Amino acid sequence: MKKLILFCFAIILSLGWNSCGKDNSSNDNIVVYKIPVDIAARYVAMAFCNASAGINSHLENAAAFTAQGHGSFDTSFTVKKLDSAAAVKYQYQVVYTLARLTTLPPKVTFDYTANGSFSSDAIQSQDEQTGNNWQFTTLDQSQLTLNGSGTDGGQQYALLEKVFFTSDITYTLQNVMIDKLTCIAASGTGQITIRGSGPGGVAYSYSGTLTFNGNRKAELILGGSTFYINLSTGSITK
């Protein structure tokens, strides 16, 4: 089933790039379209949210392993939600690596990769996520402190605008405070850059800051515009 889903999505992307890049006129003029910040922000929201098995879901998993005192491990598994009633469908192959270090003070390091795809009513995506050298400290406090970086990127389709685009997100998490009981980020920031290209190969690039506000809510300032994100669902408003 996974191979069929990914194969079909790849065909859609291929056909989309071939058809979206040209209009229907006889001279086959190439459509020039720069991906606007609203579409880029919409993808950032979906890339981070739990509903799509995004970055925040792995943050909460890593925090839970850390808070519960799990020892060092390497593991791989599949996460998926493909039932027809799901608002967001996804399937990812995931690899986790956690190391508990007896430094002074002690800390936990965490790395992960996730390869797969998701589909919502706003964005379809085939992508790869990484979390690189996430470090959890203040292990003896009521809140964990997380610092680290990562990436997310691939090929996407914006359903509302009917455009295909590529994306490459880089992020750096800074002093993200995570409640040890709920494993939900209460505060902290992520410095984010998203770049890529749209129809006609037109490049786009936006940078900004994601601020965790607790209760799976976040504020995203991207390219000078402010957005509010529900990290549970991926919904986004201005």
Q: Is residue 1 pLDDT above 50, yes or no?
A: no
Q: Is residue 200 pLDDT above 70, yes or no?
A: yes
Q: Is residue 58 pLDDT above 60, yes or no?
A: yes
CB 171 within 8 Å of CB 210: yes
Q: How far apart are CA 237 and CA 219, in angstroms?
A: 10
CB 28 within 8 Å of CB 22: yes
pLDDT at 29 (0 to 100): 56
Give pLDDT tens digits for 162-178: 999 999 999 999 999 99
CB 193 within 8 Å of CB 203: no
Residue labelled with tokens 């003896």: 140
In 86-202, beta strands by DSSP E: 89-101, 107-119, 123-137, 143-158, 163-179, 185-197
CB 227 within 8 Å of CB 49: no
pLDDT at 125 (0 to 100): 98
Mean pLDDT across the chain: 90
Give pLDDT tens digits for 59-110: 999 999 999 999 999 999 999 999 999 999 999 999 999 999 998 999 999 9
DSSP for 33-60, please give it: -PPPHHHHHHHHHHHH-GGGT-HHHHHH
Q: What residue spans define the domains of the chain?
A: 2-237
Q: How far is CA 154 from the centre of its chain?
A: 11
Q: Rounded to 5 degrees, what angle do the CA atoms 225, 230, 234 make? A: 90
User: Residues 144-156: what's their mean pLDDT?
Assistant: 98
Residue type, 55: I
Token output for 221: 């300032």
pLDDT at 30 (0 to 100): 58
More confident residue, 9 or 144: 144
Q: Is residue 37 pLDDT above 80, yes or no?
A: yes
Quickly state the pLDDT bin for 32 (edges 50, 70, 90).
confident
